[in-house]
Amino acid sequence: MSTGEEQQAQQGAEAEAQSSSLLDQAIANTKSATPDHAKDLLAALTREAMAGTVTFDKDVTRTINQAISKIDDAVSKQLAAVMHSEAFQKLEGSWRGLNHLVMNSETGTGLKIRMLNVSKKELFKDVDKAVEFDQSQVFKKLYENEFGTPGGEPYGALIGDYEFENHPEDIELMSKMSNVAAAAFCPF
């Protein structure tokens, strides 16, 4: 065997030894991580028992299952409270409506659906702050950036998910938004 072949064989043996040692290290780390994690969980359960929040039975498995059941009940109650909240249901209704619009529209090169996340309060603040409707940020976004720009893609319709009442602010908002929509040649 020549010296070049001997060096290659030696390098191959070293690489194999290094790779096996890396594998051995990974296996050793995995084995040690599992018992450590189990010890941590048992220590936490013991602390809870000592604090009086968990009552141990002779059957440790039953005690653990009871603790899991209590946690599950607490999470279920919290989730039910969130899901039955009026604010959450209103938000869910808005997202379901948007999903219905998107899924039941025939999109293609001629139709694009865009969403602008702005609250009714923010929209009113914007159009009320402007001296004229054409100086508002919403006008700039809807008209100047699209219809008033060469190559822009004008909007075909504006859909707002808002509740309007016979209130002066609501009437003013609708009036100013109708001016913005008329200038952009799209209904609101």
At 42-71, the pLDDT tens digits run 777 777 766 766 566 677 788 778 878 888
**Inside any domain, residue 125:** yes
Residues 79, 9: one domain? yes
Residues 62, 129: one domain? no
Contact present, 114 and 158 (Cβ < 8 Å): no
| Number of domains composing the chain | 2
Residues 131, 178: one domain? yes
Q: What is the pLDDT of residue 16?
A: 47
Identify which of 80, 51, 82, 83 has the alpha carbon closest to the alpha carbon of residue 67.
51
Q: Work out the angle at residue 129's Cα, subtended by the Cα atoms of residues 126 and 132, and round it to the nearest 5 degrees.
A: 95
Residues 78, 138: one domain? no
**Residue 160 lies in domain:** 116-183
HEC secondary structure over 86-149: HHHHHHHHHHHHHHHHHHCCCCECCECCCCCCCCHHHHHHHHHHCCCHHHCHHHHHHHHHHHCC
Contact present, 148 and 99 (Cβ < 8 Å): no
How confident is the prediction along the chain (188 residues), in pLDDT tens digits per residue?
555 555 555 555 444 444 455 556 655 665 555 567 777 777 777 777 667 665 666 777 887 788 788 888 888 999 899 889 998 998 899 889 988 988 888 877 777 788 888 888 998 899 888 888 888 888 888 887 777 777 777 778 888 888 888 989 989 888 888 888 888 888 88
**Inside any domain, residue 57:** yes
**Inside any domain, residue 65:** yes
> What token pair was written down for 4?
């070049």
**Inside any domain, residue 12:** yes
**Inside any domain, residue 107:** no
